[in-house]
Amino acid sequence: MTQVIIGMFESFAVAHKAVAQLKSAGIKPDDLSIVANNADDAYKLTDDTVAEVEYGAGTGAAVGGVGGLLAGLGLMAIPGVGPVVAAGWLVATLAGAAAGAIAGAAVGGLVGAFTQAGISNEEAEVLAEHVRRGGAVICVRADDEHASNVRSILQRHASIDLATRRSSFEADGWGGFDTNARPLNSHEVHAERSRHSHR
């Protein structure tokens, strides 16, 4: 039986290392997906064909080979979240959400993409808010044989506990994901990441 396993990370820079290890562990690229906040414009497509991602100016080193890990890497704007970088099997759903926003259509956005992947609406709202605040989410489709190893790999790479992050949001007065919320700017995203990393 196939299940969807999620991992929450403070940024794409942290999450992409887990993606690489999942692939090395035998998880097929078609079963991996990632979406991460890009409000700080840190990730740029350097080549439309190779689709590698690199840090923007002033952020340090490059993240090489991401395009080789997952197909469909792209940059897009998601309702209530803002700019994201995404790759893998969630991209088609997210692209539809982005296109719907441009056309003014009522779309499920990021929450809808997660729920279509089989994640509960309650968890999907936390995941979407996490991305809005600067985070990254990995979704892995895994059979029972690989599920335990997938969870272990995600934890080794500092995956964030969803319930703990929900409690943190609620302590800030958060009551659920709002597709009409104002996307955070780069300074606010950096502040959110810093705040959570010191808790």
Euclidean distance between CA atoms 119 and 113, whole angstroms: 9
* Burial class of 172 by CB neighbour count within 10 A (0 to 12, 13 to 18, 19+): exposed
- pLDDT, one tens digit per residue, over 63-111 is 334 445 565 677 888 878 888 888 888 877 776 555 544 433 334 578 8
- pLDDT, one tens digit per residue, over 133-191 is 999 999 999 999 999 999 999 999 888 999 999 999 999 999 999 988 899 999 999 99
pLDDT recorded at residue 143? 92
Helix axes 162-171, 121-132, angle to 10 degrees: 70
Give the Å distances, CA to CA, from 8 to 136, 180, 189.
Answer: 6, 23, 15
> Per-residue pLDDT averaged across 13-39, rounded?
90
Euclidean distance between CA atoms 119 and 11, whole angstroms: 21
- pLDDT, one tens digit per residue, over 115-134 is 888 899 999 999 999 999 99
Euclidean distance between CA atoms 170 and 120, whole angstroms: 18
Answer whether 96's CB lies under 8 Å from 117's CB: no
Sequence spans of domains, the chain: 2-197
Number of C-beta neighbours around residue 198 at 10 A: 6
- Whether 112 has a pLDDT exceeding 80, the answer reads yes
pTM, two decimals, is: 0.83
pLDDT recorded at residue 106? 33
Report which of 102, 55, 56, 49 is spatially closest to residue 72, judged by C-alpha positions. Answer: 49
